[in-house]
Amino acid sequence: MMIIMHPGATKQQVAHVIEHIEAHNLSAHVIEGVEQTVIGAVGESHTVSTDVFETLPGVQTVQRISQPYKLASRQFHPHDSVFPIDGFSVGGEEIAIIAGPCSVEGRTQLLEIAQAVREAGANALRGGAFKPRTSPYAFQGLGEEGLEYLAEARELTGMPVVAEIMAVSQVEIMVKYVDVMQIGARNMQNFNLLRAVGETRTPVLLKRGLSATVEELLMAAEYILSGGNTRVMLCERGIRTFETATRNTTDINAIPVLKSLTHLPVILDPSHSTGHAAYVSAIAKAAIAAGADGLIVEAHQDPAHAMSDGKQSLTPEAFAKMVSQVKSVAEAVGRRVAVPLAHRERG
């Protein structure tokens, strides 16, 4: 439930409400708005009467949140969550573009493509060091060596880095090297992993499961938020349907649906959602027109020889063209593509 404090409520009154929440074995999540403080009481709150809080000093009203996800819901947090990630912000007026190879394949490969995507306008670099592959015989990623190259690419380009975490045992090393931890589609309901990243304060890009509903995605985000990690971005990356012409089916509907149900930023991955480089730019533009807050796109200097997902990877030239077209769509819908940190510093 949500406990909405009076505009003039004092810090002591807020602290008193929190004490009561905790005394009922619920956890308190405070949002300090410009005018009012809202305190979320999360847990088995249906067993507790709203009267318990309504009579406390400083409390204006108490409301129950109707959805099964609480901290993720727009009811709890009516304004869009905007959070900074090392140099740019996600969820506000600016569109964030994350780009890079599916896998970190080697030092030269990564540093080259990192510079190329930065020049083309990327705000952050992606690259997998631990790869969830369908076949156990396929390239599984370079592990820590890959993370070291990502850290070097960040030094070189000034871009924050995004990489996938596959297991709870990788939390420590990931927090050390990356700016955003990606939870892949196959792990969207790995609840132990969700809890573990929720304990950290490293931003998370949570991808929708292959056959997960929007509500299941939001419940997965709730696991992370309930641990106190508030910087969660949701990512639509295509879902399984009967259609085989594309790798997955981009659920464009999910973008406005998510934007209405949650305050969390919504990112679209046109690479995995289409599976073909030729369709990536069209779907990227559609996503921005539909209200997405950002894109995560695979790019490779030599897609034909990429160790994973070459078919859907854009060349640096194709990526640059996509960015310029996305900029026009962003402007048409009253947004703008974030200026890359490195460019900002130079200017």
Binding interface with ligand PEP (CB under 6 A): 102, 128, 132, 184-186, 207, 237, 269, 272
41 binds, among ligand PEP, Mn ion, none (CB under 5 to 8 A by kind): none
Whichever of 220 and 306 has its CB closer to Mn ion, that residue is 306
Containing 59, the helix (H) or strand (E) segment is strand 59-63
CB atoms < 10 A from the CB of 200, how many? 19
Q: Could you say whether residue 235 binds Mn ion (CB under 5 A)? A: no
117 binds, among Mn ion, ligand PEP, none (CB under 5 to 8 A by kind): none
CB of 171 to Mn ion, least distance (A): 22
CB of 33 to ligand PEP, least distance (A): 34
Per CB under 5 A, the segment of 33-41, 199-207, 277-285, 306-314 that binds Mn ion is: 306-314
| Strands, sheet with 59-63, edge to edge from the N-terminal-most edge strand | 27-32, 37-42, 2-5, 59-63
Whichever of 138 and 333 has its CB closer to ligand PEP, that residue is 138
d(CA 183, CA 209): 10
129 binds, among ligand PEP, Mn ion, none (CB under 5 to 8 A by kind): none
Residue nearest Mn ion by beta-carbon distance: 102
Unique residue bearing structure tokens 């975490």:
165
Whichever of 136 and 334 has its CB closer to ligand PEP, that residue is 136
Contact 105, 96 (CB under 8 A): no
Contact 100, 298 (CB under 8 A): yes
Q: Could you say whether residue 309 binds Mn ion (CB under 5 A)? A: yes
d(CA 174, CA 171): 5
CB of 217 to ligand PEP, least distance (A): 12
CB of 256 to ligand PEP, least distance (A): 21
φ, ψ (nearest 5 deg) of residue 336 = -145, 150
Judged by CB under 5 A, the chain residues 102 through 131 that form the site for Mn ion are: 102
Non-local CB neighbours of 269 within 8 Å, separated by 6+ positions: 207, 235, 236, 237, 238, 295, 296, 297
Rg of the chain over all Cα atoms, to the nearest angstrom:
21
Whichever of 102 and 153 has its CB closer to Mn ion, that residue is 102
Whichever of 53 and 223 has its CB closer to ligand PEP, that residue is 223
Whichever of 73 and 182 has its CB closer to ligand PEP, that residue is 182
133 binds, among Mn ion, ligand PEP, none (CB under 5 to 8 A by kind): none
SS3 call for 207: strand
